[in-house]
Amino acid sequence: MKNGWIKIARSNEVSLLKPYVTNKIKALPAMCLWREPDNTIAAIERFCPLGKEDLAEGKITNNGVVCPKHKITWSSLGNANKSTALTNTISYWWPTKEISGDVFVKWK
């Protein structure tokens, strides 16, 4: 898969009410997207880097998505907001942009 912007969703599918998740497609991993309070879109890996819980069942807050299993909040830059046994654990994340009602992630 070439580097570049890849369409991942429609703008109206991504909200600040609940996570929008995708499945793995070829080399593109499964992702969890949500809308931030400033209306930008965050995209991190779908399965929690700590316990591999599915963030589809997570809750969106002003600080990111809360994992349903151990309640750690993951920010749009993949950082955990709580100290854990794995303090250096971060989630992969991707830049996003919207054009004409479509959401793109930058594959790198």
Q: Which residues bind ligand FES (CB under 6 A)?
A: 48, 50-51, 53, 67, 69-70, 72
Smallest distance from the beta carbon of 98 to ligand FES, in angstroms?
28
Closer of 37 and 51 to ligand FES (Cβ):
51
Q: In the bound complex, what is the minimum distance in angstroms from residue 25's beta carbon to ligand FES? A: 23
Q: Which residues pair with 47 in a beta bridge?
A: 54
| Least Å from the CB of residue 101 to ligand FES | 32
Residue (14 or 72) nearer to ligand FES, CB: 72
Which has the closest alpha carbon to 61: 72, 70, 52?
72
Candidates 73, 75, 23; CA nearest to 46 is 23
CA separation for the pair 67, 32 (Å, rounded): 11
| SS3 state of residue 30 | coil
